[in-house]
Amino acid sequence: MRITIASGKGGTGKTTVATNLGLALADDRPVQFLDCDVEEPNAHIFLKPRIERTKSVEKLLPRVDEAKCTYCGECAKACEFNAIAVIGKKVIVYDELCHGCGLCRMVCPVGAISEVPHELGVIEYGVARGFPFSRGLLNLGEAMATPLIHELKQGIDPDSLAILDAPPGTGCPTIAAIQGADLALLVTEPTPFGLHDLRAAVGVARSVGVPIGVIINRDGIGDDMVERYCADEGIPIVMRIPFDREIARLYSQGIPLVDALPEWRDRFRALYDTTTMKLAREDGVK
C-alpha cells in the first residue's frame, strides 16, 4: 500500500498529515516514510530521523568536442527540450534545460558528444522513530526535482505501508510523487484559495488514475465551498483538522499531534483503518 499526501500549494498542513499518519500507524504495521518535497523537505522537523547513508543523484550532461563537430545540427533537431543549439560554428548546451536523456549523443553522426555527470542532489536514508525514513535534497539552483523523486521511490519496500509527502503544487514533481500510489490524500483549507488549489490537485490525481480523499485543515475558517465542491465531485472528505490554537502551537514547535494529543493517534489510525482502506478497496486495491 502506498499513500501520497499532497496539496495544490504549500503551507496547507500536508506534512502534518503525512508525519502524524506515519507515527500513528507505525505501532501496528511496517511503515516507511519518504519525504518527496525535495526543494523544501521538512518532515525531519517532526520525525527527527537519524541519517545513516546518502546517495548522489546525477544527470549526464552532453559535452561537445568541437574538433570533431561538423555543425550539422542533428543534435539540436533531436532534442525535445531545446537544450542544445547549433549557432553558426558554435554548439551551446543549456545545462539547466537538459534532461540528460542522451539522445543528442546517440544521433551525432561523428561521435563528437560525450557525457559528464552532474549532481542534482542527494537522497538521505535513515531511521525515524523506528521506521525507515528517506528524503531527497535538491541542490541549490537546480530545477530538476523529478529524478530525485524517482530515485526515492526506487527504495519503496513493497511489504511496507509507504507514506509519501509530495511536493506542493501540480507540476511534474508532484505528479511523480502521486503516480503509482494506491491513494492520494489531498490536504486543503476551506477558503477560496484552498478550493482553487484543491481543484488543481484533484486534476493531477485523476490524470494518473489515483483515488482521492480530501482532508480539510484549519476547519472552521472560511466557507463551505470546498465541501460543496467535494459533494459535487463525489470526493469523500476523510478527515477534518480544526483551526485550533493548541494544534498551531504544537506545529510551530515541531511536536507531532499524535505525541501531544493521544486522541489524534486514534483519529489517524481510524482514517487508515476505515475510510482509507474502504476507499482503496472501492478502487480495486487489494
Chain residues binding ligand SF4 by CB under 6 A are 62, 64, 69-75, 78-79, 81, 83-84, 86, 91, 93, 98-104, 108, 110, 112-113
As given in the structure block, the three cell numbers for residue 87 are: 549557432
Q: What count of other Cβ atoms lies within 10 Å of the Cβ of residue 220?
A: 11
Minimal distance, residue 139 CB to ligand SF4, in Å: 18
Minimal distance, residue 98 CB to ligand SF4, in Å: 3
If the CB atoms of residues 104 and 185 are measured against ligand SF4, the closer one turns out to be: 104
If the CB atoms of residues 78 and 122 are measured against ligand SF4, the closer one turns out to be: 78
136, 213, 126, 214: which is closest to 176 by C-alpha?
Answer: 136
Minimal distance, residue 119 CB to ligand SF4, in Å: 16
Which amino acid, one-letter code, is at 249?
A: R
Q: Is the separation of the CB atoms in 226 and 199 below 8 Å?
A: no
Judge residue 8's burial from the number of C-beta atoms within 10 Å of its C-beta, 0-12 exposed, 13-18 middle, 19 or more buried. buried
If the CB atoms of residues 75 and 164 are measured against ligand SF4, the closer one turns out to be: 75
Minimal distance, residue 171 CB to ligand SF4, in Å: 18
As given in the structure block, the three cell numbers for residue 171 are: 507540476
If the CB atoms of residues 1 and 69 are measured against ligand SF4, the closer one turns out to be: 69
Q: Report DSSP letters for 27-83, one per residue.
A: TTS-EEEEE--TTS--HHHHH--EEEEEEEEEEEEEEE-TTT-----HHHHH-TT--
Minimal distance, residue 74 CB to ligand SF4, in Å: 4
If the CB atoms of residues 115 and 244 are measured against ligand SF4, the closer one turns out to be: 115
Minimal distance, residue 146 CB to ligand SF4, in Å: 13
- To which H or E segment does residue 226 belong? helix 225-233
If the CB atoms of residues 22 and 100 are measured against ligand SF4, the closer one turns out to be: 100
